[in-house]
Copies of this chain bind each other. A is one copy, B any other.
Amino acid sequence: MVNYSPALDRLFLALADPTRRAMVEQLSSGPAPVSELARPLPMSLPSAMQHLGVLEAAGLVRSEKLGRVRTCSINAATLSLAEQWINARRQDWERRLDRLGDYLSSIEDKEDHDESID
Could you list which residues of chain A lie within 8 angstroms of chain B, going by C-beta atoms?
A: 1-5, 8-13, 15-19, 21-22, 24-25, 28-30, 40-42, 74, 76, 79, 82-83, 85-90, 92-93, 95-96
Cα-based distance from A19 to B5 in the complex (angstroms): 10
A76 to B, closest residue via Cβ: B93
Cα-based distance from A8 to B17 in the complex (angstroms): 8
Count this chain's copies in the assembly: 2
A82 with B82: in contact, given A2-B22, A28-B96 (CB under 8 Å)?
A: yes
Across the interface, which residues of B come within 8 angstroms of A85, CB to CB?
Answer: 15, 21
Across the interface, which residues of B come within 8 angstroms of A24, CB to CB?
Answer: 89
Name A13's contact: one of B1, B5, B16 (CB within 8 Å).
B16
Across the interface, which residues of B come within 8 angstroms of A83, CB to CB?
Answer: 83, 86-87, 90
Given contact pairs A1-B40, A8-B18, a sample of 10 additional A-B residue pairs in the complex whose CB atoms are under 8 Å apart:
A2-B40, A9-B17, A12-B15, A29-B93, A29-B95, A29-B96, A76-B93, A79-B89, A83-B86, A86-B86
